[in-house]
């Protein structure tokens, strides 16, 4: 007769079963809304030429993208606070309803202006989906288990970013650009059904009042800073005064925002929370990581097509290891965090490797065969995946249950603004080097950024070779700028006081 299992073994089996049940009960309900929000940031970019061809006003097509970015950034702290007050399950239903309703409006749009307005509404829903998904991990999962779940969620985010352009291109080609918005409806219905499985938590605070002046100043700050960064990427002399004016307005609104938040009874941005070293350093690390990652995703395709002469299909295949590697790195980091409780050691070593890789790639890229690039991108991406899970968990642990939504929102808008800053800075570096080297190449590169490397097709072969060499030299400086972001992130990770959960 076999011996009875020991009490310790029974407890371990029970805990494993409980964790498995928790995963299937909670994670799909969180994952699908996050997938919807993130994939919508990239799926529309592929459809922009078709949208411009149908609605006209090609010069305003970028409004469709920047409108969504602005509104998702604005929505983050709003949903963070409302989720803390009224419960995240209730707010998730509201965010999904706004997202689905505005997706229908996007599909029905008859002008760029109407589509831009619908995208603003869609971003208000999408920003809520991203913020609430992150906060729900902290609300429903024990601290030591969060590393594993945050790793999975980071993998979903990166996969969604890579998945978007592929699906957007397919849907636009076979079903028209309106289908990229209509596809949100069936997925949203499934997300609504899954959300019903979440346990409602939280309730209204007796003395809570919404910080309307804080929201006004925050909207003005985010709108002006993101519009300034969008204009700065164009790097045209005629936009300089516009950029400076927007930056001045954003600085003034930031000062007024901080003044309001310091005296508000229930501030939209809890300054006391953001003053804590672990919080603001983690948020700054998220900004550096977002700046590096989005810059790589934005400019590597241009590099591969303009300098290496690859087709869009070949470029997509070469970049697959980049997106897959970040997802794998996030999942592995999360599982190790769950087992050991260690946190900042992973981004410290991870960003050290990434910084060295980027510096070496900047210096040696011209000597590397194209066949080596997928391995380099994949290796680099594995270590890029060590950051976001640690950032989210650190902020959640320090913020505590009462400020969980505010903490998750701070990471979300830090990452969004950091991504915009990083992309603008890398674009400025590229255009500065090209302008100093050859103004004609700089003007051609500006066209390539907007319309793709096909803009070089009309050049003579000898001129094409010169342009490729000049762009390659400019990209060397751009990769060094990305290495500077990860280097700053490394110092921030080193200085975060929370080292274990």
Which residue would you say has higher pLDDT here, 240 or 330? 330
CA gap 45, 168 in Å, rounded? 8
Give the tokens for residue 283.
């948020």
pLDDT in the model for residue 279: 92
Tens-place pLDDT, residues 337-375: 888 888 899 999 999 999 999 999 999 988 888 889 889
pLDDT in the model for residue 12: 41
Largest CA distance in the chain: 87
pLDDT in the model for residue 104: 93
Tens-place pLDDT, residues 451-484: 666 666 677 777 778 888 888 888 999 999 999 9
pLDDT band at 4 (very low <50, low <70, confident <90, very high): low
Evaluate if residue 450 carries a pLDDT over 70: no
Nearest to 261 by CA among 77, 126, 107, 459: 77
Helix segments in 4-111, DSSP class H: 7-55, 63-86, 88-108
pLDDT band at 11 (very low <50, low <70, confident <90, very high): very low
Evaluate if residue 169 carries a pLDDT over 90: no
Give the tokens for residue 209.
């009042």
The pTM of this model reads 0.81
CA gap 358, 411 in Å, rounded? 25
Q: In this prediction, what percent of the chain has a pLDDT beyond 90?
A: 20
Evaluate if residue 449 carries a pLDDT over 80: no
Residue 436: other Cβ atoms inside 10 A: 10
Which residue would you say has higher pLDDT here, 198 or 93? 93
Mean of the pLDDT values across residues 28-49? 77
Query: Using CA of residue 336, residue 338, residue 343, residue 347, what is the dihedral sign?
Result: positive
pLDDT in the model for residue 251: 92
pLDDT in the model for residue 496: 93
Evaluate if residue 491 carries a pLDDT over 90: yes
Evaluate if residue 33 carries a pLDDT over 80: yes
Determine contact, residues 104/180, Cβ cutoff 8 Å: no
pLDDT in the model for residue 365: 87
**Mean pLDDT score across all residues of the chain:** 82
Give the tokens for residue 492.
């921030």
Q: Which residue has the tokens 């299992």?
A: 5
Give the tokens for residue 369.
């065969």
DSSP-derived 3-state class of residue 343: coil
Determine contact, residues 279/273, Cβ cutoff 8 Å: yes
CA gap 35, 377 in Å, rounded? 23
Determine contact, residues 278/501, Cβ cutoff 8 Å: no
Nearest to 46 by CA among 206, 182, 140, 163: 163
Bridge partners of 342? 500
Bridge partners of 500? 342
In order, the DSSP letters of 106-133 are HHH--SHHHHHHHHHHHHHHHHHHHHHH
Q: Which residue has the tokens 């490397």?
A: 453
pLDDT band at 59 (very low <50, low <70, confident <90, very high): low
Helix segments in 367-460, DSSP class H: 373-384, 388-399, 404-437, 439-451
Tens-place pLDDT, residues 404-426: 888 888 888 888 888 888 888 88
CA gap 376, 477 in Å, rounded? 18
Which residue would you say has higher pLDDT here, 453 or 310? 310
């Amino acid at each position: 007769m076999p011996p009875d299992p020991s009490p310790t073994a029974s407890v371990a089996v029970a805990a494993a079963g409980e964790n498995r049940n928790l995963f299937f009960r909670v994670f799909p309900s969180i994952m699908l809304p996050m997938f919807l929000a993130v994939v919508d940031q990239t799926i529309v970019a592929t459809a922009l030429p078709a949208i411009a061809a149908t609605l006209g006003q090609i010069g305003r097509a970028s409004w469709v993208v920047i409108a969504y970015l602005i509104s998702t950034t604005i929505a983050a702290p709003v949903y963070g606070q409302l989720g803390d007050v009224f419960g995240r399950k209730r707010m998730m239903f509201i965010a999904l309803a706004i997202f689905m309703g505005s997706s229908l409006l996007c599909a029905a749009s008859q002008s760029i202006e109407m589509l831009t307005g619908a995208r603003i509404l869609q971003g208000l829903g999408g920003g809520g989906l991203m913020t609430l998904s992150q906060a729900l991990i902290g609300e429903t999962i024990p601290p030591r288990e969060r590393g594993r779940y945050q790793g999975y969620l980071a993998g979903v985010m990166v996969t969604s970013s890579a998945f978007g352009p592929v699906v957007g291109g397919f849907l636009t080609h076979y079903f028209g650009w309106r289908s990229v918005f209509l596809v949100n409806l069936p997925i949203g219905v499934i997300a609504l059904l899954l959300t019903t499985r979440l346990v409602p938590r939280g309730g209204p605070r007796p003395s809570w009042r919404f910080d309307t002046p804080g929201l006004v100043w925050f909207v003005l700050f985010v709108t002006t800073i993101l519009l300034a960064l969008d204009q700065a990427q164009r790097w045209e002399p005629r936009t300089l005064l516009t950029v400076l004016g927007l930056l001045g307005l954003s600085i003034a609104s930031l000062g007024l925002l901080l003044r309001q938040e310091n005296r508000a009874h229930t501030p939209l941005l809890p300054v006391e929370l953001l003053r804590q070293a672990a919080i603001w350093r983690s948020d700054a690390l998220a900004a550096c990581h977002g700046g590096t990652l989005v810059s790589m995703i934005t400019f590597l395709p241009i590099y591969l097509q303009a300098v290496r002469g690859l087709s869009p299909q070949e470029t997509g295949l070469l970049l697959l290891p980049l997106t897959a590697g970040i997802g794998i790195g996030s999942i592995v980091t999360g599982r190790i965090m769950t087992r050991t409780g260690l946190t900042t050691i992973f981004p410290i070593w991870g960003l050290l490797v990434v910084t060295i890789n980027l510096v070496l790639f900047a210096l040696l890229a011209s000597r590397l065969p194209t066949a080596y690039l997928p391995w380099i991108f994949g290796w680099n991406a594995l270590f890029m995946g060590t950051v976001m899970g640690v950032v989210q968990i650190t902020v959640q642990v320090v913020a505590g249950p009462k400020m969980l939504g505010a903490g998750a929102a701070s990471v979300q808008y830090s990452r969004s603004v950091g991504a915009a800053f990083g992309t603008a800075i890398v674009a400025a570096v590229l255009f500065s080097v090209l302008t100093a080297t050859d103004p004609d190449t700089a003007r051609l590169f500006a066209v390539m950024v907007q319309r793709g490397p096909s803009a070089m097709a009309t050049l003579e072969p000898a001129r094409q070779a010169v342009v490729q060499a000049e762009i390659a030299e400019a990209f060397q400086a751009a990769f060094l700028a990305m290495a500077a972001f990860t280097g700053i992130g490394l110092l921030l990770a080193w200085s975060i006081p929370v080292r274990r959960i």
